[in-house]
């Protein structure tokens, strides 16, 4: 029994590992064609794995990716595509910076308060898409994409109009942000300035995700609805309710994605905070096969690539090769997964039939 | 006879003309009332055409893909690729070369999406997102390789060699016949600001016939071409059937798989053309981030246009107009609020006569809100102008569900040979 | 049809010795069919008898393992529908293959479009040709209207136009009247007779014997995959046909103890359920029934006559337009499905793949489905995995599900074992009322007997069962009373001790019982 489980795990990870290999190979070819040395590139990249600074940076970058991937993965379990993590995250960022900055509470309470605000506003934004899907049957892919852009505009305008604070006497370009969060809302670092404690929060979120989805009644019904809505419906699970709730949860998690940057680093909202975490979260979720353990390692991989890519500049290799790698990984993992799954399903079927024959 | 019955009894073409004239009339009135000459100046109209063209091309890209049954979220990525290839080609050989290179590159990217979704049955949205990520990374990387030490920068190309031709209509808009500059009849009419309606119509005509870039004309020509091919030829009918009911087509011998590949190649090309337009025509360099989300506005335009080429054109112009107006002078934009208020009020009346009370109330509320905003604000923040296409699309999706007719099978997975 | 062929007196279609097997199932064996040209020929049989498979073979959708196909005197092999179409055969499927958003013309000409010299579609020519076909059929459509604007009967006629447009002289219709209201049925047969008068040949599959006897020239009866009779309306009547369809041997239920008690566990009172499309007939029309404790009420009837909607209505998955449902005295007409299940209602679904199983999930999750409120298997919000796994093993043992373990995903099991798992799960919660739809479908004989034993045992302990089945042996062997459903109504109530196959067949195919007990 345990052996079968191990086999399943191996097969599932196989498509992810294969995808990474495919990406490495294709990127090596790209490097060669454009006159760069792939051996030098990869040795620089992976050689950086030995440095503590790089490893700390890896965990730091992985933190928002883990949360973002969890947000996306909850949606996937219900066959929902929440592409709106970007927008939900942004709305939560500004709201938390402003509301969290407006109160003063003792430290642990203040941090909890900020989390609540972030989750509530994220859920509010995703709830719009959820409501549209349930009540008006609007495809959530389109609505979340639209809401991303609307969030961009709304947040930029609100920030510009109401909340920005230009530092006196300095140029207004990069340092424009909201009022700083009070110290009680600063999330403590694990390693000063290098690794923020939000990593712990991210890991806790992954654990809670695992518990919710695989250990609770609700999680079971969620997975059943996503796997076979007809069967779930026949046992009385209300599909619309499930859709709406999972969009809310997804949005709540999305709201927390930016918190490391906000509460652990910059301590105020500025316009370029935590960009692209939404789409990268999708990549992490896909590579991690929507499972917390997979997400954890995928987030680390992407975090590592992001951190170590800086080293490539020193060797005159554009670090953007890493972005290309990410894109190829995403495409490759879903293609390979389809093929591998089909092969593995057939294998399991044959084995089961054979074992039953043997017994009878 | 009520206005409603009169309007309904007209053929769709006549109705469209009537609506357009009515819209121009509203604009004319608002122009006079708010003293915003730019609202209907030929300069604004020309500018609108230019702003709308990339959106039009992106919308057409979405249309071609979905009509064959494939959802293309990767339009943005294909535009990015097109804009890069356009900038590269323009730098090396000239604008038309840039556009040509982009068309080829776009087709290839489109085919990648087709292989993933048709051959490997990957989810359409996932594939589209992957393409967006890939396109962004690839163009950033290639910019550094190609442009960095060659006169451009890490994120932009050196200037393109230009050369795409502009077009002015002779006699009416001061175009050249040989060396002689002909009189500008429409321009003269346009400046008669005190008369209602006539100068506005003149301005519209002048706007579309002067200072028009040739690539714009090409893009506009694709609209009737698309309509003709998809609705009047065999290949077009079979392509549409692949998006409506691949099983029906398959049972009659339609090569669904092949048609989907062809459609995606076209879709990719169109999107890339839109991107190249940005880097070769509107500007003369490729710049990172140039596309600015237009690929997604294009997707919105496909929906807003009800998967119909003329509708997409209408949507592109509608979405491009506020931006063009803002470019002329940001002070122009509040006038649009008044326009919106009037249009929504008229729509509300129409909806009441059709007994759609909930929608009528919504429209009426929107009209009141627009009116209130016009009275109270002096300028409309650019962020709101930018968000309009997205808000409009959501409202259309949520509110006009009945009228929207997406291709029935778009986005669903399909394995050839599966019988019911 | 060629004059020589006609002179020879050839058949339009002749199938000889057709055999077709699928993995684990023999769909057709040694089937013979002879269709004379210019006739309406009906193929009659129960569900699963093999009629559809036979027609798909004739239409080239698959190849027979053995046997020959002869069309107009010429032996043919059809590798695909295209070959069959070329031979003049056209098929109108039960589930229409029309693109809603395309116009009628576009749907008809798709794949065969006429073109002008300049490469455009020649709509004028298409309209002309379709117009001629329409007058042959006696119909008139606005050819530029989208198919979505058409009703069901009209869509069927478009499908017929589609095959005629491609030059079909032999039309196959698969259960054409299943979705039509009586008026549309009449119109359809008028249309078919016109076609036949023009020289076409029509083959149609049906189980509605009234229609068959009233409209067709010849009848072939298929039972359990093979031809059992060839007859005509002159030579037989409904009883005779029904007996041919349904067969002979049935278990003798006499001498059984009755365990029926007085308390009514399930009461359905005069419910109406709306049909699926707008303007279509009611799916359920004034249906009433009662199931008492210790009673098995059997529902006989050919699939598609409202049995599915009945179960969904009792479960609460579709709304009832009128009437009420009560369980154990409580009106549950407005209770949510999950509460009905928790109150003791269980359901073995019609289609285990669509409604009964999570195919990719392990068996222990499948046995948990629907039972998330069971206190033994959960504690508070959390699932108790070990308890669920143990419970799953118990079900697997008790019902003889053949699997290496409960960790195996459901898709790996054979169909019969999957069914056993579903039955076991539904009975494991000790329900009060069990809705059992085809509980032994796809199950081998030994397991079938075991499931029957379980059902009887539970019934003896007070369970009330509503048993929907197409297997007459099962119905007669298990039921205490049998209700027959036809066209959304209950048309007869029979005592299994007195029911004969012909009687059952008669009611199942349309006759309405005079006096109802």
Q: What is the pLDDT of residue A175?
A: 54
State the first-to-last Cα distance of chain C, in angstroms, to the nearest integer. 54
Q: Can you tell me the distance from the alpha carbon of C207 to that of C293, in angstroms, rounded to the nearest whole number? A: 34
Is C336 in Cβ contact with A238 (below 8 Å)? yes
The model's confidence at residue B111, banded by pLDDT at 50, 70 and 90, is very high
Q: CATH assignment of C3-246?
A: 3.40.50.300
Q: What is the pLDDT of residue C130?
A: 94
Residue A187 has pLDDT above 60, yes or no: yes
Judged by a CB distance cut-off of 8 A, whether residue A238 touches chain C is yes
CA torsion through residues A161, A166, A168, A174, sign: negative
Domain ranges of chain C: 3-246, 251-343+481-517
Judged by a CB distance cut-off of 8 A, whether residue C390 touches chain A is no
Is B244 in Cβ contact with C97 (below 8 Å)? no
Q: Please tell me which chains touch C, using 3 or more CB pairs under 8 Å as the contact test.
A: A, B
Q: Which residue, among C308, C340, C383, would best test binding to A if mutated, counting the most A CBs under 10 Å from its CB?
A: C383
**What string of H, E and C letters represents the secondary structure of C246-259?**
HCCCCCCCCCCCCC
Report chain C residues whose CB lies below 8 A from the CB of B248.
97-99, 107, 110
Judged by a CB distance cut-off of 8 A, whether residue A334 touches chain B is yes
Q: Can you tell me the distance from the alpha carbon of B330 to that of B377, in angstroms, rounded to the nearest whole number? A: 13
The model's confidence at residue B177, banded by pLDDT at 50, 70 and 90, is low
Q: Which residue, among C80, C86, C90, C101, would best test binding to B if mutated, counting the most B CBs under 10 Å from its CB?
A: C101
pTM beyond cutoff 0.90: no
Domain ranges of chain A: 65-293
C window 254-273, beta carbon within 8 A of A: none
**What string of H, E and C letters represents the secondary structure of chain A?**
CHHHHHHHHHHHHHHHHHHHHHHHHHHHHHHHHCCCCHHHHHHHHHHHHHCHHHHHHHHHHHHHHHHHHHHHHHHHHCCCCCCCHHHHHHHHHHHHHHHHHHCCCCHHHHHHHHHHHHHHHHHHHHHHHHHHHHHHCCCHHHHHHHHHHHHHHHHHHHHHHHHCECCCCCCCCCCCECCCCCHHHCCCEEECCCEECHHHHHHHHHHHHHHHHHHEHHHHHHHHHHHCHHHHHHCCCCHHHHHHHHHHHHHHHHHHCCHHHHHHHHCCCCCCCCCCHHHHHHHHHHHCCCCHHHHHHHHHHHHHHHHHHHHHHHCCCCCCHHHHHHHHHHHHHHHHHHHHHHHHHHHHHHHHHHHHHHHC
pLDDT tens-digit series, residues B302-328: 999 999 999 999 999 989 888 888 777
Q: Can you tell me the distance from the alpha carbon of B247 to that of B258, in angstroms, rounded to the nearest whole number? A: 14
Q: Can you tell me the distance from the alpha carbon of B286 to that of A28, in angstroms, rounded to the nearest whole number? A: 26
Interface contacts (A, B; CB < 8 Å): 131
Is B252 in Cβ contact with C111 (below 8 Å)? yes
Residue C458 has pLDDT above 60, yes or no: yes
Q: Can you tell me the distance from the alpha carbon of C182 to that of C172, in angstroms, rounded to the nearest whole number? A: 21
Q: Can you tell me the distance from the alpha carbon of C71 to that of C15, in angstroms, rounded to the nearest whole number? A: 9
Q: Can you tell me the distance from the alpha carbon of C164 to that of C137, in angstroms, rounded to the nearest whole number? A: 10
Q: What is the pLDDT of residue C291?
A: 93
Q: What is the pLDDT of residue B165?
A: 65
Nearest C-alpha of chain B: how many angstroms from C208? 23
Q: What is the pLDDT of residue C250?
A: 56
Q: Can you tell me the distance from the alpha carbon of C175 to that of B94, in angstroms, rounded to the nearest whole number? A: 65
Report chain A residues whose CB lies below 8 A from the CB of B383.
152-154, 156-157, 160
Residue B383, φ and ψ in degrees, nearest 5: -65, -35
Q: What is the mean pLDDT of residues B37-42?
A: 72
**Do the bridges between strand C322-327 and strand C264-273 make them parallel or antiparallel, or are there none, so unpaired?**
antiparallel
**A81, A161, A330: residue with CB nearest B130:** A330
Q: Which residue, among A331, A336, A343, would best test binding to B if mutated, counting the most B CBs under 10 Å from its CB?
A: A331
Question: Residues B307, B406: contact at Cβ < 8 Å?
Answer: yes
Judged by a CB distance cut-off of 8 A, whether residue A79 touches chain C is no
Report chain C residues whose CB lies below 8 A from the CB of B419.
61
Judged by a CB distance cut-off of 8 A, whether residue A1 touches chain C is yes
User: CA nearest C118 in B: which residue?
Assistant: B233
Report chain B residues whose CB lies below 8 A from the CB of C102.
237, 240-241, 244
Listing from the earlier edge strand, what are the strands of the sheet with C330-331? Answer: C284-292, C264-273, C322-327, C330-331
User: CA nearest B154 in A: which residue?
Assistant: A318
Q: Can you tell me the distance from the alpha carbon of B384 to that of B380, in angstroms, rounded to the nearest whole number? A: 7
A window 284-313, beta carbon within 8 A of B: 286
Q: Can you tell me the distance from the alpha carbon of C509 to that of C238, in angstroms, rounded to the nearest whole number? A: 9
pLDDT tens-digit series, residues A63-83: 999 999 999 999 999 989 999
Interface contacts (B, C; CB < 8 Å): 56
Q: Can you tell me the distance from the alpha carbon of B278 to that of B272, in angstroms, rounded to the nearest whole number? A: 10
Residue B76 has pLDDT above 90, yes or no: yes
Question: How many C-alpha atoms does A131 have within 13 Å on its Cβ side?
Answer: 8
**C95, C98, C113: residue with CB nearest B237:** C113
Q: Can you tell me the distance from the alpha carbon of C511 to that of C517, in angstroms, rounded to the nearest whole number? A: 16
Report chain A residues whose CB lies below 8 A from the CB of B300.
142, 146
Q: What is the pLDDT of residue C73?
A: 85
Mean pLDDT, chain C, whole residue set: 86
Decide which of 3.40.50.300, 1.10.645.10, 3.20.20.70, 3.40.50.80 is the CATH code for C251-343+481-517: 3.40.50.300
Q: Which of A232-236, B293-297, B334-338, C419-423 has the lowest mean pLDDT?
A: B334-338
Q: Which of B244, B220, B250 is nearest to B230 (CA)?
A: B244
Helix (H, G, I), strand (E, B) or coil at B404: coil
Q: Can you tell me the distance from the alpha carbon of C386 to that of C364, in angstroms, rounded to the nearest whole number? A: 10
Residue C486, φ and ψ in degrees, nearest 5: -145, 125
Q: What is the pLDDT of residue C299?
A: 94
* Interface confidence: ipTM more than 0.85: yes
Is A4 in Cβ contact with C407 (below 8 Å)? yes
Q: What is the pLDDT of residue C242?
A: 76
| C-alpha C431 chain-centroid distance | 28
User: CA nearest A341 in C: which residue?
Assistant: C360
Nearest C-alpha of chain A: how many angstroms from C22? 18
- Helices then strands, each counted (H, E), chain C: 17, 22
Q: Can you tell me the distance from the alpha carbon of B351 to that of B26, in angstroms, rounded to the nearest whole number? A: 19
Report chain A residues whose CB lies below 8 A from the CB of C375.
none
Question: Residues A207, A292: contact at Cβ < 8 Å?
Answer: yes
CA torsion through residues B226, C98, C131, C150, sign: negative
Q: What is the pLDDT of residue C138?
A: 82
Q: Which residue, among B134, B150, B295, would best test binding to A if mutated, counting the most A CBs under 10 Å from its CB?
A: B134
Residue A162 has pLDDT above 80, yes or no: no
Residue C297 to residues A223, A307, C237, C476, Cα–Cα distance (Å): 35, 70, 29, 10
Judged by a CB distance cut-off of 8 A, whether residue A324 touches chain B is yes
Q: Which of C82, C96, C72, C80 is nearest to C7 (CA)?
A: C72
Question: Residues C23, C185: contact at Cβ < 8 Å?
Answer: no
**A1, A221, A231: residue with CB nearest C405:** A1
Residue A220 has pLDDT above 90, yes or no: yes
Q: What is the pLDDT of residue C515?
A: 43
Residues forming a β-bridge with C327? C266, C330
State the first-to-last Cα distance of chain A, in angstroms, to the nearest integer. 20
The model's confidence at residue B21, banded by pLDDT at 50, 70 and 90, is confident
Nearest C-alpha of chain A: how many angstroms from C342? 10
pLDDT tens-digit series, residues A306-351: 888 888 888 888 888 888 998 899 999 989 988 888 788 888 888 8
Residue B365, φ and ψ in degrees, nearest 5: -65, -45
pLDDT tens-digit series, residues A17-39: 999 999 999 999 999 998 888 88
A window 126-165, beta carbon within 8 A of B: 132, 136-139, 141-143, 145-147, 149-150, 152-154, 156-157, 160-161
Q: Which of A203, A190, A193 is nearest to A299 (CA)?
A: A203
Q: What is the pLDDT of residue B152?
A: 67
Q: What is the pLDDT of residue B315?
A: 92
Q: What is the pLDDT of residue B65?
A: 97
Mean pLDDT, chain B, whole residue set: 83
Q: Can you tell me the distance from the alpha carbon of C143 to that of A97, in angstroms, rounded to the nearest whole number? A: 62
Burial A208-220 (b: 16+ CB within 10 A, else e): ebbebbeebbbbb
């Amino acid at each position: 029994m345990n052996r079968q489980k191990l086999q399943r795990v191996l097969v599932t990870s196989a498509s992810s590992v294969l995808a990474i290999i495919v990406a490495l190979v294709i990127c090596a070819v790209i490097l060669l064609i454009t006159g760069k040395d792939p051996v030098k590139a990869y040795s620089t990249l992976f050689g950086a794995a030995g440095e503590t600074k790089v490893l700390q940076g890896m965990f730091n970058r992985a933190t928002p990716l883990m949360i973002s991937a969890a947000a996306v993965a909850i949606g996937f379990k219900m066959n929902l595509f929440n592409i709106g993590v970007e927008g939900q995250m942004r709305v939560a960022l500004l709201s938390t910076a402003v509301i969290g900055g407006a109160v003063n509470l003792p430290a642990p309470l203040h941090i909890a308060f900020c989390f609540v605000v972030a989750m509530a506003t994220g859920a509010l934004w995703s709830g719009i898409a959820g409501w549209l899907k349930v009540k008006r049957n609007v495809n959530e892919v389109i609505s979340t994409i639209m809401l991303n852009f609307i969030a961009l505009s709304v947040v930029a305008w609100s920030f510009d109009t109401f909340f920005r604070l230009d530092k006196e006497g300095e140029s207004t370009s990069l340092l424009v942000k909201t009022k700083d969060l009070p110290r009680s809302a600063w999330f403590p670092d694990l390693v000063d300035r290098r690794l923020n404690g939000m990593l712990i929060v991210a890991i806790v979120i992954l654990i809670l995700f695992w518990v919710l989805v695989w250990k609770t009644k609700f999680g079971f019904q969620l997975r059943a609805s996503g796997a076979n809505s007809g069967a779930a419906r026949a046992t009385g699970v209300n599909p619309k309710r499930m859709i709406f709730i999972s969009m809310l949860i997804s949005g709540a998690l999305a709201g927390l994605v930016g918190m490391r940057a906000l509460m652990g680093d910059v301590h105020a909202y500025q316009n370029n905070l935590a960009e692209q975490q939404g789409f990268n979260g999708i990549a992490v979720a896909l590579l991690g096969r929507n499972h917390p353990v997979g997400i954890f390692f995928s987030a680390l991989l992407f975090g590592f690539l992001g951190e170590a890519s800086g080293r490539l500049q020193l060797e005159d290799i554009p670090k953007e090769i890493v972005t290309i790698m990410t894109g190829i990984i995403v495409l490759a993992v879903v293609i390979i997964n389809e093929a591998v799954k089909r092969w593995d399903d057939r294998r399991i079927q044959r084995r089961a039939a054979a074992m039953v024959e043997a017994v009878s | 006879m009520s206005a409603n019955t009169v309007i309904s009894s007209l053929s769709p073409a006549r109705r469209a003309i009537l609506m357009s004239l009515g819209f121009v009339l509203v604009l004319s009135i608002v122009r006079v009332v708010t003293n915003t000459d730019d609202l209907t100046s030929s300069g604004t109209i020309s500018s609108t055409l230019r702003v709308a063209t990339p959106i039009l091309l992106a919308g057409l890209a979405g249309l071609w893909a979905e009509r064959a049954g494939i959802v293309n979220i990767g339009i943005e990525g294909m535009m990015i690729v097109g804009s890069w290839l356009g900038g590269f080609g323009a730098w090396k050989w000239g604008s038309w070369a840039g556009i040509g290179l982009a068309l080829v590159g776009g087709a290839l990217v489109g085919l990648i999406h087709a292989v993933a979704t048709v051959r490997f049955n990957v989810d359409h949205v996932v594939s589209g997102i992957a393409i967006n990520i890939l396109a962004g990374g690839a163009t950033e990387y290639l910019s550094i390789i190609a442009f960095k030490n060659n006169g451009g920068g890490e994120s932009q190309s050196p200037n393109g060699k230009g050369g795409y031709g502009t077009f002015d209509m002779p006699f009416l808009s001061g175009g050249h016949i040989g060396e002689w500059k002909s009189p500008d009849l429409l321009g003269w009419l346009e400046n008669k600001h005190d008369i209602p309606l006539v100068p506005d119509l003149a301005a519209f005509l002048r706007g579309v016939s002067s200072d028009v870039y040739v690539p714009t004309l090409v893009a506009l020509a694709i609209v009737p071409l698309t309509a003709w091919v998809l609705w009047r030829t065999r290949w077009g009918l079979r392509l549409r059937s692949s998006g409506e009911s691949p099983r029906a087509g398959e049972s009659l011998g339609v090569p669904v798989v092949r048609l989907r590949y062809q459609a995606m190649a076209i879709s990719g090309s169109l999107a890339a053309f839109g991107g190249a337009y940005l880097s070769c025509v509107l500007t003369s360099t490729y710049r990172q981030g140039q596309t600015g989300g237009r690929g997604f506005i294009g997707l919105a335009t496909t929906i807003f246009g009800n998967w119909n080429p003329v509708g997409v054109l209408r949507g592109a112009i509608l979405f491009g107009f506020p931006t063009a107006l803002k470019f002329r002078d940001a002070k122009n934009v509040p006038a649009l609020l008044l326009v919106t208020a009037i249009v929504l009020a008229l729509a509300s009346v129409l909806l009441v006569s059709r007994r759609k009370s909930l929608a009528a109330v919504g429209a009426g509320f929107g009209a009141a809100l627009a009116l209130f905003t016009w009275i109270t604000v002096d300028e409309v923040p650019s962020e709101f102008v930018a968000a309009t296409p997205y808000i409009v699309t959501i409202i259309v999706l949520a509110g006009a569900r009945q009228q929207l007719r997406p291709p029935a099978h778009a986005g669903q997975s399909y394995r050839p040979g599966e019988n019911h | 049809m060629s004059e020589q062929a006609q002179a020879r007196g050839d058949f339009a279609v002749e199938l000889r010795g057709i055999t077709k097997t699928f993995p684990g199932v023999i769909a057709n064996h040694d089937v013979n069919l002879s269709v004379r040209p210019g006739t309406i020929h009906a193929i009659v049989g129960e569900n699963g008898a093999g009629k559809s498979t036979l027609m798909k073979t004739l239409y080239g959708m698959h190849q027979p393992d053995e046997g020959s196909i002869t069309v107009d005197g010429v032996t043919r092999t059809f590798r695909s529908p295209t070959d069959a179409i070329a031979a003049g055969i056209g098929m109108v499927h039960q589930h229409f293959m029309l693109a809603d958003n395309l116009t009628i013309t576009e749907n008809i000409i798709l794949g065969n479009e006429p073109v002008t010299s300049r490469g455009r579609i020649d709509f004028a020519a298409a309209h002309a040709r379709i117009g001629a076909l329409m007058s042959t059929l006696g119909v008139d459509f606005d050819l530029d209207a989208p198919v979505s604007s058409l009703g069901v009967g009209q869509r069927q006629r478009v499908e017929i136009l589609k095959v005629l447009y491609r030059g079909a002289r032999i039309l196959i219709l698969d259960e054409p009247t299943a979705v039509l209201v009586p008026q549309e049925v009449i119109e359809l047969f008028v249309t078919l007779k016109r076609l036949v008068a023009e020289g076409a040949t029509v083959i149609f599959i049906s189980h509605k014997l009234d229609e068959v006897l009233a409209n067709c020239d010849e009848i072939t009866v298929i039972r359990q995959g093979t031809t059992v009779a060839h007859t005509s309306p002159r030579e037989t009547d409904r009883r005779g046909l029904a007996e041919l369809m349904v067969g002979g041997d049935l278990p003798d239920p006499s001498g059984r103890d009755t365990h029926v008690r007085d308390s009514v566990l399930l009461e359905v009172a005069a419910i109406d359920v709306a049909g699926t499309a707008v303007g279509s007939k009611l799916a359920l029309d004034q249906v009433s029934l009662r199931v008492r404790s210790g009673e098995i009420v059997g529902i006989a009837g050919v699939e598609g006559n409202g049995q599915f909607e009945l179960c969904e209505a009792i479960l609460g998955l579709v709304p009832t337009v009128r009437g009420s449902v009560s369980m154990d005295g409580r009106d549950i007409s407005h209770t949510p499905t999950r509460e009905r299940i928790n109150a003791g209602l269980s359901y073995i679904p019609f289609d285990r793949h669509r409604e009964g199983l999570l195919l990719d999930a392990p068996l222990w999750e499948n046995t948990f489905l629907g039972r998330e409120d069971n206190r033994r298997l959960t504690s508070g919000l959390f699932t108790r995995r070990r308890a669920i796994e143990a419970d799953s093993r118990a079900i697997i043992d008790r019902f003889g599900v053949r699997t290496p373990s409960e960790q195996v995903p459901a898709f790996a099991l054979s169909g019969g074992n999957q069914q056993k798992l579903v039955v076991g799960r539904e009975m494991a919660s000790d329900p009060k009322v069990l809705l059992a739809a085809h509980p032994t479908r796809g199950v081998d004989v030994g397991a079938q007997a075991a499931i029957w034993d379980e059902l009887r045992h539970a019934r003896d302990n007070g369970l009330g069962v509503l048993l929907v089945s197409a297997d007459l042996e099962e119905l007669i062997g298990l039921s205490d009373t049998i209700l027959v459903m036809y066209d959304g109504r209950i048309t007869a109530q029979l005592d299994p001790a007195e029911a004969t196959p012909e009687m059952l067949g008669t009611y199942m195919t349309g006759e309405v019982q005079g006096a109802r007990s």
